[in-house]
């Protein structure tokens, strides 16, 4: 499989874009929960609507010409074929990975960046449909398209069952959001998920997200100009600090944690905060390494500064494939291979060894 000498290059943060075809995987009575896709031609936007409310996230369907123009404007490459980012054509996606120098992608969802429903039965149905969809994509992907499963946080017994199905069908991680309603990532409520993930050897994929409607309302005042920074990135950073200061890594010592799509610039801040706030002289010098915590970097991160606090063994990198936000850079792997501030040993850890360790990829 490796196309980079003897090194397996892993894109640790890629995406699939849900389409109306995703919900063809709803079966029987679950079809009543099918989300509807609405568009706004004047604003070039699209929305998933369920129970009369806009739910989750949906990126507008842009042509390759539009993506080329956006890439030119932003100075970062976004262009991906529509059939590839929506995985309608798996062979096309694999061919594109070859062009990008990527052997394996780990794919995360798009829709679950926010709360998708307030109903447990609907959440169970939507998660199961999405996981079935990804199982078929993995089967067609020759082992190169791995994924992070979504789980119904309101029905943990069902979540455990879906995790088992996902693991048998190519999933390497479990999607966890920093906040679920009024619960925090480290709430003991989620311990059954952590226990099962440990048993299945699956990572916890804490992708930027926010499933607290209260926090979302506070983080999106009409005068705010930070976009997704406040509602999504800040909660993810808070969750990482809470994790490394909690009992969770000691209760589940084999569990691996990936904090995805936040850049890595904040690591020195939270590591220093944890040391000072721990109140103990024996707090780990490098809590990321001690507690199996990995963070995705971006190409414009200050790598010498980040690695001083994170070490070389707990940083990974991804392209944010399929998206067009501040973290997106479809040729990030190629760019990082030429990063002058990182030596070859650290470079290959970040490109290969670390993501393989995080996701348990052979």
The stretch 83-87 carries a mean pLDDT of: 90
Q: What is the per-residue pLDDT for 80?
A: 80
Q: What is the per-residue pLDDT for 225?
A: 72
The stretch 189-193 carries a mean pLDDT of: 98
Q: What is the per-residue pLDDT for 214?
A: 87
Q: What is the per-residue pLDDT for 218?
A: 82
Q: Are 344 and 336 in contact (CB under 8 A)?
A: no
Closest C-alpha to 262, from 233, 304, 230, 299: 233
Q: What is the per-residue pLDDT for 71?
A: 57
Please check the confidence at residue 293 and state whether its pLDDT lies above 80.
yes
Q: Are 236 and 262 in contact (CB under 8 A)?
A: yes
Please check the confidence at residue 327 and state whether its pLDDT lies above 80.
no
pLDDT band at 75 (very low <50, low <70, confident <90, very high): low
Q: What is the per-residue pLDDT for 176?
A: 97
Question: 104: which 2 tokens?
Answer: 């394996």
How many residues are there in the chain? 362
Measured in degrees and rounded to the nearest 5, phi and psi for residue 149 equal -75, 155
The residue written with tokens 């990135």 in the block is: 233
The stretch 276-288 carries a mean pLDDT of: 93
User: Could you report the per-residue pLDDT of 223-243, keeping only the tens digit for each?
Assistant: 667 778 888 899 999 999 999
Residues 6 or more apart from 195 whose CB is under 8 A from it?
252
Closest C-alpha to 225, from 295, 116, 327, 326: 326
Average model confidence (pLDDT) for the chain? 91
Please check the confidence at residue 65 and state whether its pLDDT lies above 90.
no
The CATH fold assigned to 10-359 is TIM Barrel (3.20.20)
User: Could you report the per-residue pLDDT of 162-183, keeping only the tens digit for each?
Assistant: 999 999 999 999 999 999 999 9
pLDDT band at 280 (very low <50, low <70, confident <90, very high): confident
DSSP assignment, residue 25? G
Q: What is the per-residue pLDDT for 52?
A: 85
Please check the confidence at residue 22 and state whether its pLDDT lies above 60.
yes
């Amino acid at each position: 499989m490796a196309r980079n000498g003897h090194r397996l290059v892993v894109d640790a943060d890629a995406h699939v874009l849900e389409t109306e075809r995703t919900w063809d995987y709803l079966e029987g009575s679950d079809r009543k929960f099918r989300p509807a896709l609405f568009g706004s031609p004047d604003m070039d936007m699209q929305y998933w609507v369920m129970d009369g409310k806009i739910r989750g996230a949906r990126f507008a369907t842009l042509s390759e010409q539009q993506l080329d123009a956006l890439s030119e404007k932003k100075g970062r490459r976004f262009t991906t074929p529509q059939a590839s980012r929506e995985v309608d054509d798996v062979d096309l996606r694999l061919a594109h990975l070859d062009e990008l120098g990527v052997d394996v992608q780990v794919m995360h969802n798009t829709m679950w960046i926010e709360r998708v429903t307030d109903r447990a039965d609907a959440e169970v149905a939507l998660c199961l449909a999405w996981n079935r969809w990804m199982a078929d994509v993995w089967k067609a992907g020759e082992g190169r398209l791995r994924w992070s499963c979504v789980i119904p946080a309101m029905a943990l017994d069902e979540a455990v069952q879906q995790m088992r199905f996902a693991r048998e069908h190519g999933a390497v991680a479990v999607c966890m959001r920093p906040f679920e309603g009024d619960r925090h990532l480290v709430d003991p409520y989620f311990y059954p998920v952590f226990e099962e993930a440990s048993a299945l050897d699956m990572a916890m994929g804490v992708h930027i997200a926010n499933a607290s409607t209260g926090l979302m309302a506070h983080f999106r005042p009409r005068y705010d100009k930070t976009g997704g920074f406040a509602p999504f990135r800040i909660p993810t950073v808070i969750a990482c600090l809470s994790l490394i200061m909690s009992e969770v890594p000691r209760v589940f010592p084999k569990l691996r944690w990936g904090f995805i799509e936040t850049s890595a610039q904040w690591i020195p801040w939270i590591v220093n905060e944890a040391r000072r706030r721990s109140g103990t002289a024996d707090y780990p010098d490098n809590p990321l390494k001690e507690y199996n915590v990995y963070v995705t970097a971006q190409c414009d991160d200050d790598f010498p500064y980040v690695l001083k606090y994170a070490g070389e063994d707990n940083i990974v990198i991804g392209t944010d494939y399929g998206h067009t936000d501040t973290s997106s850079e479809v040729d990030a792997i190629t760019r990082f291979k030429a990063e002058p501030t990182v030596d070859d040993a650290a470079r290959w850890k970040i490109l290969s060894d670390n993501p393989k360790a995080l996701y348990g990829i052979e």
